Structure 1
């Protein structure tokens, strides 16, 4: 039985950031490999903690590269304007949210979890899997909603605009 490949929907900017992150991780891997080889050549003691640290670092970078390659291989890019079809919040939507508690507005983009995890970008991002993201998906301009935070607090938001 073949398992269906789960698509990951990314904005073009997010896709490019993930590619750039992967290039940086590949550079880190080359450096970690060089350090590991030096440690192996100079280490007379098989219990050398520096050698073990270098091995762990190299394995962590390789795992991160595998994760990035997998995400990029499954990526479909959300085209501009696709993220607000029908006036509802969808993946890729840029939303102006009013925090009814603090009376402050914020402009955020709703993105997939892999994209939200990558630093950089022009706007703050909210993962569709986050408490706010889950409540925000499918909402229309003018709708208000309450988010229950892990701390037990509740925050009320209102959708002021969708781009």
Structure 2
């Protein structure tokens, strides 16, 4: 884990702000979970109390999520500059054409930690996902194939890239 801690995480401005909001929500949930746990401990009898165990587990889960969010935010740098103009990189808004269905979809390319945060105006594609891995570094007009877990293949074409 020590190696992962030093790794920098690149986030879009929107993603950074969303992670901060999520952290604040989790801190509010932690305060509530702590209050519930204290109530459970005061009213608990000596016999096994599943409510008390559930409250402890919930508090631990929230604390772990807070630690994860704080770690990500501490390592975060907001993507401001795009070194590879004309190529897909983190923070790019890409219109992908699905060559099979002939439908286009507009997506935001993000890092893995940002992909887990809900909200936002566009669907997100993580750089670690099958589509994201194939998409990174591509130029407008390039077509590529993605091998899905179920053995199927999807063919996409990069129709446009915005930053």
Q: Aligning the two structures, in what range does the TM-score lie when normalised by the shorter sequence?
A: over 0.9
**Superposition deviation, residue 122 in structure 1:** 1.2
Stretches of structure 2 lacking an aligned partner (at least 5 in a row): none
TM-score by length of 1: 0.95
Aligned to 1:62: 63
Relative to 1, partners in 2 of residues 1:84 and 1:151: Cα closer, same or farther, differing over 3 Å? farther
Please give the root-mean-square deviation of Cα atoms over the aligned residues, in Å. 1.4
Aligned to 2:88: 89
Map residues 41-120 of structure 1 onto 2, 5 A cutoff: 41-79=42-80, 82-83=81-82, 85-120=84-119
Relative to 1, partners in 2 of residues 1:8 and 1:17: Cα closer, same or farther, differing over 3 Å? same
CA distance in 1, matches of 2:57, 2:82: 40
Q: Classify the secondary structure of the residue corresponding to 2:36.
A: helix
Aligned to 2:23: 22
Aligned to 1:11: 12
CA distance in 2, matches of 1:65, 1:86: 35
CA distance in 1, matches of 2:67, 2:73: 10
TM-score by length of 2: 0.95
CA distance in 2, matches of 1:9, 1:136: 17
Stretches of structure 1 lacking an aligned partner (at least 5 in a row): none
Tell me the number of residue pairs that the alignment of Structure 1 and Structure 2 aligns.
160
CA distance in 1, matches of 2:13, 2:138: 23
Map residues 137-148 of structure 1 onto 2, 5 A cutoff: 137-148=136-147
**Superposition deviation, residue 83 in structure 1:** 4.2
Q: Classify the secondary structure of the residue corresponding to 2:84.
A: helix
